[in-house]
Amino acid sequence: MNIVLGITGGIAAYKSPDLVRRLRERGAEVQIVMTASAEEFVTGTALQAVSGRPIRSNLWDKEAEAAMSHIELARWADIVLIAPSTAEVMARIVSGGAPDLLTTICLATEAPIALAPAMNHIMWSNPATQANREVLEERGIHIIGPGIGSQACGETGPGRMLDPDAIAATVFNLTGGKGQGLLEGRKLVVTAGPTREAIDPVRYITNRSSGKMGYAIASAAAAQGADVILVSGPVNLPEPPGLRVVNVESAEQMYAATHEAIIDADIFVSAAAVADYRPENAALQKIKKNEESMSLVLVRCPDILASVAALDSAPFTVGFAAETENVAEYARGKLEKKNLDMIVANRVGPDCGFDRDDNSATVLWSDGEQNFPVSSKARLARDLIELATQRFLAARGTDTQPRLSIISTKD
Ligand code: PMT
């Protein structure tokens, strides 16, 4: 697939080399076209090195135009992707203006166009930007994201460029392109987030899981070409592009949704922090505070992970273990007791694990283990998906030669 990757002037341009790598590892040829302001944020030298092609930026560069003119570039592209896309370039495309190479290509191409916006959340919410987004969508231009979260300006809200993996997966889905993802043709089910167990109509028992780890795993699997169903507890995260999300609330609902999704699945990753216990009887009306103390009778919730691993046609089953002490020892106990193929042991506490953008883990299987030091959850998720895929293929006897190099951090 031939991709013209337009890079415009936003701080998210620092993610561009990673995005180029994600597109190229899926088999795409990437021709970068930078605007003048993009050059303020990322160097052409770095981008040329990762894309393997000379960078284009100037509509009036005679030598470059002689090699491949802007019209030829517009024809060459199977898709024009602009990431990051500023509010300014959105407005220019809406107006039909073409003062530079990138917007000229947008005007001259018949290929699909996709924009991954990245800007301050107030700029994104501005009625002018939203009106431009609507016009672009009406014209069939794809808008990928943006995500919600903390921003370079120190504020929080919608406007973050999505993770390069997620953008790459969406681009390949949009074009129906077959990449070279490790999980092409495979089905994965991932659970993520907490569950809520009702005490009465206004109160519930829950935990500190944000869903970030599970969502990152689902995105990483989709980026490798898998058909992913993400069964999600209540979280405050945008739906990742390129996969199906089933929203649930309680452990029982997550159990039912997982068993519905699991049919024909190749791999199951249980990253959700599912309640172990729930109130035996949720009150139908709000409980009044009449007594000095009160007791709740709790009963066990179904163990989703163990029940999937026990299926006759169980998929390759990956559990998580969230522990505050004896992390590896307790995790190995769960690996054996629940009859899992692999378990990801992570320490949780006030300064690690839950509701953060980073994590570390030790992955255990019957006769081995591997440590992953602290990294972003997106990076860790990619490493975990690669390792799970290797072990899945080895277990199924379809490929005992690892196709990936994983940096072993085992001490
Ligand atoms: O969501 P984040 O804020 O990003 O945080 C990530 C995380 C810490 C929640 C995640 O990395 C993690 O560790 N998830 C598993 C949390 C957990 O419930 O661990 P556990 O050790 O209590 O459970 C062991 C395994 O059994 C888990 O795979 C769990 O999904 C599964 N389980 C547990 C109980 C239950 N009733 N059903 C289950 O399937």
pLDDT tens by residue, 123-148: 999 999 999 999 999 999 999 989 88
Who has greater pLDDT, 400 or 35? Answer: 35
Q: What is the pTM of this model?
A: 0.71
Which atom of ligand 1 is nearest to 275's Cα? 36
Which atom of ligand 1 is nearest to 334's Cα? 24
Which atom of ligand 1 is nearest to 193's Cα? 1
Q: How far is the CA of 146 from the centre of ligand 1 (A)?
A: 28
Strands 187-192 and 267-270: parallel
Q: What is the pLDDT of residue 154?
A: 83
Distances (CA, A) of 407 to 233, 318, 319, 372, 380: 32, 20, 22, 9, 12
Q: Read off the DSSP letter of residue 224.
A: T
Residue 246 structure tokens: 């089933």
Q: What is the pLDDT of residue 401?
A: 38
pLDDT tens by residue, 325-347: 999 999 999 999 999 999 999 99
Residue 345 has a CB neighbour count (10 Å cut-off) of 25
Distances (CA, A) of 197 to 174, 190, 210, 263, 302: 38, 20, 16, 26, 12
Domain boundaries, the chain: 2-174, 187-407
Strands 267-270 and 342-347: unpaired
pLDDT band per the 50, 70, 90 thresholds, residue 245: very high
pLDDT band per the 50, 70, 90 thresholds, residue 61: confident
**Cβ–Cβ < 8 Å for 247, 208:** no
187-407 fold: Rossmann fold (3.40.50)
Residue 366 pLDDT > 70: yes
**Ligand 1 probe mutation, 195, 206, 207, 209, most atoms within 8 A of CB:** 209
Same fold, 2-174 and 187-407: yes
pLDDT tens by residue, 190-208: 999 999 999 999 999 999 9
- Around ligand 1, the residues with Cβ closer than 6 Å are 209-214, 251, 270-274, 276, 301, 303-305, 319-322, 334, 346, 348, 353-355
Which of 57-61, 255-259, 390-394 is predicted with the least confidence, judged by mean pLDDT?
57-61
**Ligand 1 probe mutation, 274, 299, 356, most atoms within 8 A of CB:** 274
Residue 180 pLDDT > 80: no
What top-level class would CATH report for the domain 2-174? alpha beta
Q: What is the pLDDT of residue 1?
A: 86
Of 261, 242, 138, 124, which is closest to residue 190 (Cα–Cα)? Answer: 261
